[in-house]
A and B are shown apart, each in its own frame.
Chain A
Amino acid sequence: MFTNRFSKIFLFLFLFGGFTTLSFAQQNPQALFDDANEMIQKDNYQQALSLYQKLEDRNTVSGALYLNMGISYQRIDSLGVAKYYFLKASQFEETEQQAKKALEFVESRFSRQSAVLPKLPWDIATDWLQEHVGAQNLLLIGIITLNIGIFIFIAYWFLQVYPNALRIVGLSFVVAALFIITSSFYTQYISDRYSKAVMVTEKVPVLEEPSEEASIVSRAYEGYTFTVDHRRSQSEQEWTYVRMSNGLYGWIPNSEILIL
């Protein structure tokens, strides 16, 4: 009797344990990634992309995932989508160099090259902060600087050593902190409001109004990059308000672009 019950429990535990292990293996991102990589090596790019896509849908990502997705799209000649994923891969330190090489290659394959308006210095600084520091880290730096500044200033009130130096240093820290905190909020605002987008279809007109009948501002071709204005785009479901790299503004259907 005891032996029989023990056997049942053991069997249950074995099956349960095995099942959970199996299901865990299917859900593990690395395992899914490996399966997709095997598909790539067999030149089955569509199958590989569907597996990669599952990972992306789960918000479990990596630079290698984006790089491989870009390579797969490049192989099936979807250069606009490939560029989109290479841009994503370039945001990861481990794949940045390879993604930039791939981007250079893909850019050379587009049939149309667009003129690029030079950025303003302030925009360059904001982009650099977004990419290399991040708004949260900037805010943290600002808060720490503010605390240091206030404590130095308090010290100036009560300590009699180098009072002028303490006052100037304390004030400088506070002013710098306020500037850094303001910059962090501005960076976050820019990051929330604007995004980069890539044109993934062959050709589409950029229109003055979000309507098919509106007059044409310019024509966009596969691989063109835009700056998406999310705030202005909120009013339209099917359209996105974009700034082209040559400085022109207009509306473009959502289906034509992928937003980074």
Chain B
Amino acid sequence: MRKIGKAFYTVGFFLVFVLLGSPFSWAQSNVSVEASLSQTTVYTGERVSLSISISGNFNNVSRPELPQFENFRLLSDNPSTSRSYRYVNGQSTVSYTYSYYLIAQKQGEYQIPSVSVSIDGETYTTDTIPVNVIDQSESATSDDSSGRPDIFLKLEVSDKQPVTGQQVITDVILYFRDGLEVNSYQPVPGWKAEGFWKEELENSGRPRAESTVLNGIRYRKARLLQFSLFPTKSGELEISPYKIVVAVRSARSGNDPFSSFFSGFGSNQREVELSSDPITVDVQSLSPTDDATYIGAVGNFDISRSISTSNALVGESIEIETRVRGSGNIPLISKPNYNLPEGLEIYEPQENTRLNRRNSTISGSKSFTDVIIARSPGNYTIPAKKVSYYNASRNQYITTTLEALTFSIDENPEAIAGSESSGQFPVSPITGLASWVVLSPEPANLLGLWWFWTGLIIPLIIGGGAYWRKSYADKMETDTAFARSVKASDKAQQRLEDAVDVSEQGDIKQAYNLLQKAITGFISDRLNMPEAGLSNQDYIDALKEQNIEENLVKNVHMLLEKCATISYAPDTTHAYLKSHVGLAESTLEKLQKVL
């Protein structure tokens, strides 16, 4: 019983100590003491402000113990003091700021020594601050001082001789003389950095102007934007000029170094477009690596590999994730190739990239997920793999060994029952009779097929003949002269036969009349002359115009004369007519050839 009570008190004391002591120790560890100078480049005789900022959760703080300032004169031991109090998420924070004024006395580069502060009994010291004191009279006579404009833009790179893939931090800095106030700025879109992969970095807060001296002239400078550039090839690469449009106005007093970068609008405000000078960067190529382990990464990385499970069934997917974390050219990193054992199906890897653009650097992670499926049971081992990346700060390749991954695959009982494709081959050999085909060694040539040409030519011939026949029939129907000319011979022949028939019946006159019609009809049909109303002489004249042979014309003339005068010859016989019909037939045959 006593033992139990003693133990209870012991535990209670421990809990009280932990609960009360831990906030106390946390508060102690969250106190920060920082020293800052209003400007780190000052003229001789110029006043500069030294601020000691103390913040955190504490109870008692002493006034800073100032050291001896060599080459600086302290204006007063009594600082101006400001105090603030914040309460956020249950945590209170107190801030004290002590400000002293120093006057630079001698030209040179010095260090503002550490300042000690006692807080709740503990002593804190600040870091030393480098400061450059220049002689105003000497720097003002510098040749270069007169060439600089009152406001200009400048690109500043962290390294002008990087290696391929190295992260180069590029600041877009605005310089402007005291007396000018910048109200706003707007980047001109379209800036390109050819030969680089670029990422804009995130900067918290608004740009803050700092005082600086360039060739004896006091300027204020502010970093407007910040980029990470990763050269993708070696050689001299030029970063093209960056352009912004700034709204600027003349200020009434530009001496206050702590004034905000952005000031209010004034009546004398104007907009100017500023362009930085281009910068040439000499990109060094990476030293050749001995093996194929390099994955294209330049920076500082931690590379690891893991497997989703060490035991799976046949047909189940297993994921192998390769993760690269750190800062550098993360999106340009390629997946390491693994030698997978036989019997594994591999699918296209999935890539996932996460970038962090804060803290003036590109950091984050890139993961590659290989999906593999085993098709048969057993134990599998993916052998260890060496991968390397280039560390630019150490100027060497860093090699990491990814440990071997082992996993076992068991038979899938559901797959065996449900799918024949999972295990057993689904087809058996054909062992019976087969139907055989003898392959032709030469490929078929369509143009060498006889039936192709036959099937093409025959319809063309038939079509051609039919077309001729159709045209003939159409002409016979539409062209009267043509039709008379074609039918002239048959018509004449028919009349001659009729003449013979009539003659046999004893009507000689009618027979000769038909003979005359046969001859004149033939001539008029062939020469497209009127069918009636013409004299024999008209026919003879028409023949002569056609340059017909003279004897033939004479025969025609004689026959026509006979036909006209036969009425006056009472003893004309049938035989006589037949002789004239014969002559007419031969004459018309000859005429047919020449007309």
Query: How many Å from the CB of B98 to the closest CB on chain A?
Result: 68
Q: Cβ of B594 < 8 Å from any Cβ of A? A: no
Contacts A61-B437, A184-B446; A102 near B466 (Cβ below 8 A): no
Interchain CA distance A154-B468 in the complex, whole Å: 11
- Give the residues in chain A near B426, CB-CB below 8 Å: 101-102, 104-105
Partner of B429, one of A37, A113, A146, A154: A37
Q: Cβ of B9 < 8 Å from any Cβ of A? A: no
Interchain CA distance A4-B518 in the complex, whole Å: 97
Partner of A147, one of B429, B455, B467: B455
Whether B470 pairs with A158 at a CB distance below 8 angstroms is yes
- Give the residues in chain A near B430, CB-CB below 8 Å: 37, 64, 67-68, 95, 98
Query: How many Å from the CB of A2 to the closest CB on chain B?
Result: 46
- Give the residues in chain A near B441, CB-CB below 8 Å: 59
- Give the residues in chain A near B435, CB-CB below 8 Å: 62-64, 94
- Give the residues in chain A near B425, CB-CB below 8 Å: 71, 74, 102, 105
Whether A113 pairs with B444 at a CB distance below 8 angstroms is no
- Give the residues in chain A near B433, CB-CB below 8 Å: 30
- Give the residues in chain B near A101, CB-CB below 8 Å: 426-427
Nearest residue in A to B340 (C-beta to C-beta)?
A111
- Give the residues in chain B near A61, CB-CB below 8 Å: 436-437, 439
Q: Cβ of A237 < 8 Å from any Cβ of B? A: no
- Give the residues in chain B near A143, CB-CB below 8 Å: 451-452, 455-456
Q: Looking at chain B, what size class is its interface with the partner chain?
A: 35 or more
Interchain CA distance A64-B446 in the complex, whole Å: 30
Interchain CA distance A146-B343 in the complex, whole Å: 57
Interchain CA distance A162-B421 in the complex, whole Å: 62
Query: How many Å from the CB of A73 to the closest CB on chain B?
Result: 12
Q: Which residues from 33 to 65 on chain A have a C-beta closer than 8 Å to any C-beta of chain B?
A: 33-34, 37, 40-41, 59-65
- Give the residues in chain B near A94, CB-CB below 8 Å: 435
- Stretch in B229-237, B344-352, B483-491, B570-578 touching the partner: B344-352
Whether A41 pairs with B459 at a CB distance below 8 angstroms is no
Whether B434 pairs with A63 at a CB distance below 8 angstroms is yes
Q: Which residues from 340 to 397 on chain B have a C-beta closer than 8 Å to any C-beta of chain A?
A: 340, 342-347, 375
Most-contacted residue by chain A among B430, B444, B449, B455 (CB, 10 A): B430
Whether B462 pairs with A150 at a CB distance below 8 angstroms is yes
- Stretch in A7-15, A122-130, A132-140, A249-257 touching the partner: A132-140
- What would be 21 A-B contacts, judged by CB atoms less than 8 Å apart? A40-B431, A41-B429, A62-B437, A63-B434, A67-B427, A68-B430, A71-B427, A74-B425, A98-B430, A104-B421, A105-B425, A105-B426, A108-B421, A110-B345, A111-B343, A112-B346, A147-B458, A150-B459, A154-B462, A184-B446, A192-B443
A: residues with CB less than 8 A from B are: 29-30, 33-34, 37, 40-41, 59-65, 67-68, 71-72, 74, 94-95, 98-99, 101-102, 104-105, 108-113, 135-136, 139-140, 143-144, 146-147, 150-151, 153-154, 157-158, 184-185, 188, 191-192
